[in-house]
Amino acid sequence: MRINKYLALCGAASRRKAEQLVLDGRVQINGKKVDALACDVGDNDTVSLDGKKVEPIHKHIYLMVNKPKGFICTVSDEKDRKTVMELVPQKYKDKRLFPVGRLDYDTEGLLLMTTDGDFCNRLMHPRNEIPKTYAARIEGDITEDELNKIRAGVILDGRKTNRCKAKVVAADGKVSRVEIVISEGRNRQVRRMFEAINREVVFLKRVAIGDIRLGGLGRGLVRELTPDEVEYLRRV
């Protein structure tokens, strides 16, 4: 089996990223640095990444995490901030889990984590416009005119956002609770969409990705996706 496919089966990276790991000289077979992408791995070979043995994951792991505010979505942080890896229960700690996409530091809610690089790449591909539902809180009242601007799209980084759904689900004069469904995944997109109409999001939580809902999963808790949920996400 080709080395990049083998590394992908180990959950080390997608096949494309695995090629880069080889080119960067981080991969060894039987202790010898691999210097060609065309290299094959045999049944009795031992493959290491950065000196650590890697083995094919026969059963990938798919987790739903209710990310609290104050955690960043990365495997390790050079500034030593808390990462979502700290939320992963001990029994998964030796697995090569990584977050599927990002929620910003201040945003909470539904985050997927997996060992399956191909699953992650498919879900994150810009062509795959899976709707993501957010509960946002905005100070004061928000008018239909303002929401219409959000729905029609606002300019972020010189490019208009796609049309989206947005509705007020509760308002008491002090705070408006808005449900917004977007199909793109630009950096801090919901917050910046409201900033574009001079309104600040004071609380943001992702409650669904497609039909997969956070439901009653407590803040900071983790559960495995059901086989049906994994199958659904593979098909969207």
Which active-site residues does the annotation give? 104
Which amino acid is present at 202?
Answer: V
Min dist. Cβ of residue 106 to ligand URA (A): 8
The Cα 232–Cα 210 span in angstroms is 9
Residues that bind ligand URA in the complex, under the rule CB under 6 A: 103-104, 107, 188-191, 204
Give strand pairing partners of 178: 136, 168
Return the SS3 of 158. coil
Q: Please, are residues 65 and 84 in contact by the beta-carbon 8 Å criterion?
A: yes
Based on CB atoms, which residue is closest to ligand URA, 20 or 187?
A: 187
| Minimum separation from the CB atom of position 73 to ligand URA (A) | 8
Least distance (Å) between residue 174 CB and ligand URA: 22
Closer CB to ligand URA, residue 57 or residue 130? 130
Output 6 or 134, the one with its CB closest to ligand URA: 134
For the four alpha carbons of 41, 43, 49 and 50, in that order, the dihedral sign comes to negative
Nearest CA to 100 out of 200, 236, 228 is that of 236
| 108 versus 229: smaller Cβ distance to ligand URA | 108
Cβ atoms of 84 and 104 closer than 8 Å? no
Minimum distance of ligand URA from residue 138's CB (angstroms): 12
